[in-house]
A and B are shown apart, each in its own frame.
Chain A
């Protein structure tokens, strides 16, 4: 899932300083799972903003809606009846994709309430960690199922670098060295020899470096 976390209240507060009435929109997808932007967070943020504004003697009116997903037009459309004339701003509690989908549909001041962090998973309730670098050409079968592109701070494809000590990354002792993990895993699988093959320079044109990426699935396209 896409993992996000809320921006500080002060920051969101400042983003809608001019607004009298805002639409606070949650997303029922990834950000609900990572407790950043679901229905509950919408309620907390809206109430917090209202109270903070009241303390400043500039009351704020909020309308709270949580969509199934903000990254799909068929759900975004459901917002139409809430986006009325008097809505001065839309606060989106989605990842960057949702914020943009709202901004693309409505000629309104749309602001992000979250910082989109990474593509990752849940380690334990309340703990999420990055797993995928979205490089566009998966090599996990060559690295024992551990991604060096995103889990190694230097994205080294022929690791580990000289900074790996006691299984930890030189950047932060809280981070496991991805290449130590790869080494351990390949040894477990009896495939250490695979690591002697020199991994060639990666084709980054398949990653974000190649410009905006699209995926087409012919049989799903009707129009």
Chain B
């Protein structure tokens, strides 16, 4: 049996997480290939509809990565994202998905190792949860998914 490989979408703020991902790359830090990065002008731009859409279209996990609190380039974008993620976790539960499949992280552009750590942490979390219930038809439990 092949191990389940989660598909994870990370909405990353250009000013921090996205830069940290770059840095992680330059530092040759390995992080799981399960993460699909989406560059955002600010974590506060992560629309609730787009996050839900990611789940609907097959993501097993989603996270939003924004600047450290107090350091948002647009002042309050990361705080908005935090609240939006909290509200969406409730919505996921109402739909019937585990709220843990969605998370909010904060880091700075210089935190390359932390970026890799978050990617590993989230991959392990989703791996433990198993495939999204929405993907059951798409990929039977225990089968590897096409990247």
A–B: direct contact at CB < 8 Å: yes
Q: Which residues of A contact B (CB under 8 A)?
A: 8-10, 40, 43-44, 47-48, 50-52, 54-55
Chain B residues near A (Cβ < 8 Å): 47-49, 52-53, 55-56, 91, 94-97, 133-134
A50 and B91 CA atoms in complex are apart in Å by 13
Let me know if A52 and B49 touch, CB within 8 A: no
Q: How many A-B residue pairs have CB under 8 A?
A: 38
Which of the listed residues A10, A47, A50, A55 has the most CB atoms from chain B within 10 Å of its own CB?
A47
With A40-B49, A44-B49, A48-B52 in contact, do A55 and B95 touch (Cβ < 8 Å)? yes
- Establish whether residues A51 and B49, one from each chain, have CB atoms under 8 Å apart when the complex forms: no
From B48, B94, B97, A8 is in contact (CB under 8 Å) with B94
Most buried by B among A8, A10, A40, A48: A48
Q: Is the CB of A52 within 8 A of B96?
A: yes
Q: Nearest Cβ distance between residue A15 and chain B, in whole angstroms?
A: 14
The residue in chain A whose Cβ has the minimal distance to the Cβ of B90 is: A9
Assess whether B48 is in contact with A40, with CB atoms less than 8 Å apart. Answer: yes
B91–A9 contact, CB under 8 A?
yes
With A9-B91, A44-B91: A51-B97 Cβ-Cβ less than 8 Å: yes
The answer to whether A44 and B134 have CB atoms under 8 Å apart is no
9 A/B residue pairs, CB under 8 Å, sorted by A: A9-B95, A10-B94, A43-B49, A44-B48, A48-B91, A51-B134, A55-B96, A55-B97, A55-B134
User: Please, which residue of chain A has its CB at the minimum distance from the CB of B80?
Assistant: A125
A10 to B53, CA, bound (A): 19
Q: B95 to chain A: which residues have CB within 8 Å?
A: 9, 48, 51-52, 55
Give CA–CA (A152, B55) in the complex, Å: 46
| A residues in contact with B47, CB < 8 Å | 40
User: Nearest-CB distance from B60 to chain A (Å)?
Assistant: 13
Contacts of B56 in A (CB 8 A): 47, 50-51
A10 to B91, CA, bound (A): 10
Contact indicator B49/A47 (Cβ below 8 Å): yes
Beyond A47-B49, A50-B56, A52-B95, 18 additional contacts (C-beta under 8 Å) are A8-B94, A9-B94, A10-B94, A40-B47, A40-B48, A43-B49, A44-B48, A44-B49, A47-B52, A47-B56, A48-B91, A48-B94, A48-B95, A51-B52, A51-B97, A55-B95, A55-B133, A55-B134
10 tightest Cβ-Cβ pairs between the two chains A and B: A43-B49, A9-B94, A47-B52, A55-B96, A52-B95, A51-B95, A48-B95, A55-B133, A51-B56, A47-B56
Contact between chains at B49 and A54 (CB < 8 Å):
no
Min CB–CB distance B136 → chain A (angstroms): 9
- For A8, the chain B residues whose CB sits under 8 A away are 94
Residues in B neighbouring A48, C-beta threshold 8 A = 52, 91, 94-95
Chain A CB within 10 Å — which of B53, B94, B133 has the most? Answer: B94
B96 in contact with A47 (CB, 8 Å): no
- How far is B52's CA from A43's CA once the two chains are assembled, in angstroms? 9
Q: How far is the CB of A5 from chain B (nearest CB, A)?
A: 13
